[in-house]
Homo-oligomer: A and B are copies of this chain.
Amino acid sequence: MKYSKATNYALHTVVYMAQESLEHPIGVKQLAETQSVSPTYLSKILTKLAKEGIVRSISGVNGGYTLTIHWEELSFLDIIQAIEGKASIFEDCLYQHEDCGIKNVMLMAEEKLEQELREHKIVALVKK
């Protein structure tokens, strides 16, 4: 029960991009260097973020990644779910037939977690 390293990389990458807020895209190589990750691996993470519309990829020379227009609305939960998926923390209960009290408690706790992550925006971490 841990968040993957990929989630960690994704969060740091998005914060970094928000911090810089460049007009021209940032290449994978540069992003990878700030976190000491292999560029190819980071590109996989960025692909996931792109599929969720969190970043936009620009091909060709001087290409790279930029945040999308609405990046100031981005919450932690948006990024985490883009990487981890939106599946529930707690797998389906063994007894499908009826309400499982255990499952109900677990889902309530998960909702508390997500609520907290939804309330925190990336923009709050950007130092001006």
Nearest B residue (CB) for A15: B102
Task: Kindly identify which residue among B2, B35, B36, B110 contacts A91, using a CB–CB cutoff of 8 Å.
Answer: B2
Q: Interface size bucket, A side? A: 35 or more
Contacts of A117 in B (CB 8 A): 105, 109
B-contacting residues, A22-71, CB 8 Å:
35-36
Contacts of A1 in B (CB 8 A): 1-4, 7, 84, 89
The binding surface of chain A is classed by DSSP as helix
Contacts of A108 in B (CB 8 A): 116
A residues near B (Cβ < 8 Å) are 1-5, 7-8, 11-12, 15, 35-36, 76, 84, 87, 89-91, 93-94, 101-102, 105-106, 108-110, 112-113, 115-117, 120, 124-125
